[in-house]
Structure 1
Amino acid sequence: MKKAGLYGIKNSNRDFTKEDSWGKNQFNNAFPVALACYMHSKNIKPVYLKINQELNINKDYIEVLNLFGVDPLKKDVYYSFEDKFQLFDKFNKGSLPGIDLVIKEKNIDIKAIEIKLTTLPDNSTYKLEESKYGSEIVVRPDTIVYQAFSIAQSLHKNKEEVLAILDDSYKCVENWNEKDKVIPHLSNIRDSLEKLLKKYNKLQKPLLMQPIWKTQGKSAILAENCLDVFIWSDFSFTRLFFKEKGEYTNIDRPTRSMIWLFLMLYDFAKEGKIDHKRIIDTYTYDTKNDKAFSANGNNTNKLMQCDELTKPRIKKQEIKNIILGDGQLFLSPERRFDGVIQSNTSLFD
Structure 2
Amino acid sequence: MPYHQEPSLFGIKHSNRNFASKENWGKNQFNSSFPASLAAFLEHQGLENVYLKLNKSLQIYHSSISTAELYGANPISEDIFYSFESPYVPFQQLVIGNFPRVDLVTLSRNNRLCLKGIEIKLTALPDNSTCDLAEDKFGCELVIRPDTIVYLACSIAIHFRDNLSDLIALIGEGFEAIEDWQEGIHIRSSVFKMREAIDRIILSILDKQEPLVMQPIWKTEGKSPKLSENCLDVFVWSNLAFTQLFLDVARRELIALRTITRQVRTAVWLFKMLYDFSLNGQIDHRRVIDELSYDTKNDKAFAVSGKVTYPYMRSEILTKPRITKQQIKEIILGGGQNLLSPERRFDAIIFNSPEIFEPI
| TM bin (shorter chain) | over 0.9
> What SS class does the counterpart of residue 148 from structure 2 fall into?
helix
Q: Is residue 247 of structure 2 the alignment partner of residue 244 of structure 1?
A: no
Matches within 5 A, 1:305-344: 305-344=314-353
Output one character per residue of 1:24-74: Cα deviation in whole Å (capped at 9) or x when no partner: 000000000000010011111000001111111110000111111111111
Q: Which one of 120, 136, 146 corresponds to residue 131 of structure 1?
A: 136
Q: Which one of 252, 258, 268 corresponds to residue 259 of structure 1?
A: 268
Identity of aligned residues (%): 46
The 10-residue stretch of structure 1 (247-256 or 103-112) with the greater mean CA deviation from structure 2: 247-256
Aligned to 1:26: 29
Output one character per residue of 1:278-333: Cα deviation in whole Å (capped at 9) or x when no partner: 11111111111111000100001011111111111111110000000010000110
The 10-residue stretch of structure 1 (197-206 or 324-333) with the greater mean CA deviation from structure 2: 197-206
Alpha-carbon distance, 1:165 to partner: 1.8
Whole-angstrom distance in 2 between the partners of 1:160 and 1:305:
39
Output one character per residue of 1:139-166: Cα deviation in whole Å (capped at 9) or x when no partner: 0000000001111123334321111121
The change in CA–CA distance for 1:66 and 1:302 in structure 2 (over 3 A counts) is: same
Aligned 8 A contact 2:118 2:213 in 1: yes
TM-score scaled by structure 2? 0.95
Aligned to 2:97: 94
Aligned to 1:7: 10
Q: Which one of 272, 280, 285 corresponds to residue 289 of structure 2?
A: 280
Q: Is residue 167 of structure 2 the alignment partner of residue 158 of structure 1?
A: no
Q: Which one of 208, 227, 238 corresponds to residue 233 of structure 1?
A: 238
> Letter of the aligned partner of 1:265 in structure 2?
L
> What SS class does the counterpart of residue 258 from structure 2 fall into?
coil
The 10-residue stretch of structure 1 (17-26 or 146-155) with the greater mean CA deviation from structure 2: 146-155
Whole-angstrom distance in 2 between the partners of 1:167 and 1:50:
26
> What SS class does the counterpart of residue 126 from structure 1 fall into?
coil
Whole-angstrom distance in 2 between the partners of 1:288 and 1:131:
34
Aligned to 1:49: 52
Alpha-carbon distance, 1:247 to partner: 4.1
* Superposition misfits of 4+ residues, deviation over 6 angstroms: none
TM-score scaled by structure 1? 0.97
> Letter of the aligned partner of 2:17 in structure 1?
R
The change in CA–CA distance for 1:310 and 1:321 in structure 2 (over 3 A counts) is: same
What is the number of residues matched between the two proteins? 349
Which structure 2 segments of 5+ residues have no match?
Answer: none
Whole-angstrom distance in 2 between the partners of 1:269 and 1:69:
29
Aligned 8 A contact 1:206 1:232 in 2: yes
Alpha-carbon distance, 1:248 to partner: 6.6
Matches within 5 A, 1:82-121: 82-106=85-109, 107-121=112-126
> Letter of the aligned partner of 2:108 in structure 1?
E
> Letter of the aligned partner of 2:122 in structure 1?
L
> Letter of the aligned partner of 1:317 in structure 2?
Q
The change in CA–CA distance for 1:248 and 1:169 in structure 2 (over 3 A counts) is: farther
The change in CA–CA distance for 1:104 and 1:170 in structure 2 (over 3 A counts) is: same
Alpha-carbon distance, 1:267 to partner: 1.6
